[in-house]
Structure 1
Amino acid sequence: MNLRAIDLNLLVILDALLDEAHVSRAAQRLGLTQPAVSAALQRCRALFDDPLLERGRAVMRRTPRGEGLRAPLKTLLGEVEALIDPPEVPLDQIRQSIRIMIADQIAALLLPQLLDRLQATAPGIDLVVRSWRGAEQAYTDLLSGDIHLAMSLFDRDAEGLDRQHILDEHYVVVMRRGHPAAAAFDLDAWLAFPHVVVSGSGATRTPLDARLGALGYRRRVGIVVPSFMMVPDILLATDFIAMMPAHAILEGLHDRIVVHAPPLPVDGFPLHLAWASRSRGDRGLMHVTDELADLVAARIAPRPTTAR
């Protein structure tokens, strides 16, 4: 292929088209006319010998080839931008929207102060917060560019991602004060009542269930919810029990609940901030990352692991 015949601007337009899956929105994002973007799409289709975007019912859908181009295209454009090395924009002059995936409890705890800090240091940075849907989805969304920053468990290195360890988390068992299992809590008492599981994907089993099965035990998962914010009301109104990360317990709730260490050893996990490696030169994103990491260190203290 003759690289001299490829217009780099065409790849910039293709990046926007694949992100938006919509010609008019891509044109608006780029400040171009819709006919110009439509013409560029036709040239891209010829270049890659693939439709890239196919029309469905009232929407356009990426072809498998189009979906597969998203991450490498963003990496390529990011490397070109880094190569050109534009002048550094002062923080207070940055105009940028940053999409973050974060668990709701931690978001509720940290975001008000994060916004306050950004107003003082980088008032032109806007945030779009996405619900946490698990580490695998975070990996995918970071690489594709659907999100810019994620706070989650990233238990393995992934090509194309940078990560920063910010916290070591541990699990606790939580139930309402006065629960029948609270006073004499052990493994049998724990398994005698239905459990609450939090899963963004709706999974009814976790690694804990496999471990219990290996020991000859089984628990009843009475309800699966997508958000930690839903757990306290369920626990306070029922005899359900939840095992959850200690830092997911709302501040001010401890006078109405009992917190126990799990009746069998349960491994904790590290919490990370992660972003696409191609974005490490993005000053606005790195500023938000640093502020979040600082807030975690300042606001999130160790939580109890024994009954109280």
Structure 2
Amino acid sequence: MNDLRGIDLNLLVILDALLEEAHVTRAARRLALSQPATSNALQRLRALFNDPLLEGGPRALRLTPKAEALRAPLRQALAGLRGVLHQPARELATARQTVRILLADAPAAMLLPALHARLSVTAPGVMLAVLPWAGAEDALARLRRGEAELIASVLPPLAPPLRQRRLLEEHYVAAMRHGHPAAADFTLARWLAFPHLVVSGHGASTTPLDAVLAARSLSRRVGLVVPSFLMVPPLLEGSDLIALLPSRCVPPGAALALRPPPLPVEGFALDLAWHDRSAEDVVVRHVADLLGGTLPGTAA
């Protein structure tokens, strides 16, 4: 362990993900690696540290005492190493570059305000260009053709040269105006007694929620379909419509009453995707870092 010349430092990046996730498959997804490659790396790490690091528990893997002790110093070491390798601060401060991002309106509402605020401080000469959204399939094709640098969306598992990393897990809330007749006693029956507002980029009036209701021999009445989540708050504020909204899409200060859905509604995961060609671009990496989806580079 004293001679770094014989150590593959990429293993330490993989170790960091394994210790954070305590799960080989999730760590592999986070690193854009295959599950067998991550398992193989874990075996090499066990030999390197002479410790199991992760042990099987009744429901999941658990960290050994040595692994727990490694977490903090490993994270500090990796942060220092990234600073040595990239030294981006001066380069970012003077960079003049456009980063093209493909994302729909809901992810835009979740991500862009904080991203722009941070970028204006760390890289004021970098401009974000949000490109029109026409669905995930179109976005991935444009990423392959080099027409964009980043995608933030609900995405299927991707294969190289496309890579992805989980940004966030989102859940839905039922939203209605303050003083709505259903707000005080928000039961399933009260929810279904009022017309629903549905968001669909294709004008569809049914969503997976309708299948959940049908399985219970229930249905709802859709009163309005709109193409954008950003149109929803003012429509709710002036009517008795009820909508399901991603929790992060509710504008601060909106005059809306929010309730948990009265039956289970599956949320969604938002991923960041990029092409290998962008993985070593300092500016693109920085934008991805600010989004929370640090690019691991092509070595992964």
TM (norm. structure 1) is 0.59
Equivalent position SS for 2:198? strand
Which whole-Å deviations, capped at 9, do the CAs of 1:80-104 have from their partners, x for residues lacking one?
xxxxxxxx99334433221112343
Instruction: State the partner residue of 1:165.
Output: 166
Equivalent-residue separation in structure 2 for 1:113 and 1:187 (angstroms) = 35
Equivalent-residue separation in structure 1 for 2:159 and 2:226 (angstroms) = 28
Q: 1:267 to 1:110 in 2, by over 3 A?
A: closer
Instruction: State the partner residue of 1:205.
Output: 206
Instruction: State the partner residue of 1:260.
Output: 259
Equivalent-residue separation in structure 2 for 1:277 and 1:199 (angstroms) = 32
Equivalent-residue separation in structure 2 for 1:120 and 1:245 (angstroms) = 28
> Does the CA-based 8 Å contact 1:91-1:284 persist in structure 2?
yes
Q: 1:173 to 1:289 in 2, by over 3 A?
A: same
Equivalent-residue separation in structure 1 for 2:100 and 2:139 (angstroms) = 11
Length, aligned pairs only = 205
Q: How do 1:33-44 residues align onto structure 2 when only pairs under 5 Å count? A: none
Q: Which amino acid aligns with 2:257?
A: V
Equivalent position SS for 1:218? coil
Q: 1:119 to 1:221 in 2, by over 3 A?
A: same
Shift of 1:252: 1.3
Equivalent-residue separation in structure 1 for 2:184 and 2:122 (angstroms) = 50
Equivalent-residue separation in structure 2 for 1:160 and 1:283 (angstroms) = 18
Equivalent-residue separation in structure 2 for 1:156 and 1:192 (angstroms) = 39
- 1:217 partnered with 2:215: no
Shift of 1:112: 4.7
- 1:136 partnered with 2:106: no
Equivalent-residue separation in structure 2 for 1:190 and 1:122 (angstroms) = 46
Instruction: State the partner residue of 1:102.
Output: 103
Shift of 1:290: 0.7
Shift of 1:204: 2.4
Equivalent-residue separation in structure 1 for 2:287 and 2:213 (angstroms) = 40
Instruction: State the partner residue of 1:245.
Output: 246
Instruction: State the partner residue of 1:287.
Output: 286
Equivalent-residue separation in structure 2 for 1:142 and 1:130 (angstroms) = 11
Instruction: State the partner residue of 1:118.
Output: 119
Instruction: State the partner residue of 1:278.
Output: 277
Q: 1:144 to 1:202 in 2, by over 3 A?
A: farther
> Does the CA-based 8 Å contact 1:105-1:250 persist in structure 2?
no
Q: Which amino acid aligns with 2:173?
A: V
Equivalent-residue separation in structure 1 for 2:132 and 2:188 (angstroms) = 32
Shift of 1:156: 2.6
Instruction: State the partner residue of 2:146.
Output: 145
Equivalent-residue separation in structure 2 for 1:159 and 1:210 (angstroms) = 34
Q: Relative to structure 2, which stretch is displaced further, 171-180 or 137-146?
A: 137-146
Equivalent position SS for 1:208? helix
Q: 1:120 to 1:171 in 2, by over 3 A?
A: closer
> Does the CA-based 8 Å contact 1:162-1:274 persist in structure 2?
yes
Equivalent position SS for 1:90? helix
Q: Give 5+ residue unaligned stretches, structure 1.
A: 1-87, 295-308
Equivalent-residue separation in structure 2 for 1:261 and 1:175 (angstroms) = 12
Q: Which amino acid aligns with 2:195?
A: P
> Does the CA-based 8 Å contact 2:107-2:153 persist in structure 1?
no
Q: 1:174 to 1:120 in 2, by over 3 A?
A: closer
Q: Relative to structure 2, which stretch is displaced further, 225-234 or 207-216?
A: 207-216
Equivalent-residue separation in structure 1 for 2:130 and 2:187 (angstroms) = 39
Q: Which amino acid aligns with 1:184?
A: D
Equivalent-residue separation in structure 2 for 1:265 and 1:109 (angstroms) = 23
Q: Which amino acid aligns with 2:162?
A: L
Shift of 1:221: 2.2
Q: 1:223 to 1:136 in 2, by over 3 A?
A: farther
Q: CA RMSD in A?
A: 2.5
Q: Which amino acid aligns with 1:273?
A: L
Shift of 1:158: 4.2
Quote the sequence identity (%).
50
Q: Which amino acid aligns with 2:272?
A: L
Q: Give 5+ residue unaligned stretches, structure 2.
A: 1-87, 294-300
> Does the CA-based 8 Å contact 2:175-2:258 persist in structure 1?
yes
Q: Which amino acid aligns with 1:293?
A: G
Equivalent position SS for 1:197? strand
TM (norm. structure 2) is 0.61
Equivalent position SS for 1:141? helix
